Amino acid sequence: MVKGTHKQMVVVRTNGSAYYEQAYFVLREGRASDAEAERTMMAEANRILHESQLMPQPVCRAKPSRRVCFIWGMIAGAMIGAVLILTVFLLL
């Protein structure tokens, strides 16, 4: 942990967003804190949030159940076993 540092933060609460409840923006050192700068910071924060909501969200594919994986493993094992047995009988 770094002691003796002071960071300013802007908290933007989103209304009606399906993905975000709050967003935290850490301000750079030496930024003015007058009303015009505050409006500019809020506009920039809202722009970043808006752009991030327009990005395509990753699609989660459903994983096969354990039972399906077991059945496919049994089928694959039986096929490999059958091929090995046939090759042994053909070689003898």
Domain ranges of the chain: 9-54, 61-92
Q: What are the start-end ranges of the H helices in 1-92?
A: 35-54, 66-91
Write down the pLDDT at residue 32: 60
Measured between alpha carbons, how far is 49 from 25 in angstroms, rounded to an integer? Answer: 11
Q: What is the pTM (predicted TM-score) of this model?
A: 0.39
Tell me the CB-side half-sphere exposure of residue 4, using CA atoms within 13 A: 0
26-77: per-residue pLDDT in tens? 777 766 667 777 787 778 777 877 776 665 666 777 888 899 999 999 999 9
- Tell me what pLDDT residue 3 has: 64
User: Phi and psi at residue 24, in whole multiples of 5°?
Assistant: -115, 130
* First-last CA distance in the chain: 73
Q: What is the pLDDT of residue 91?
A: 84
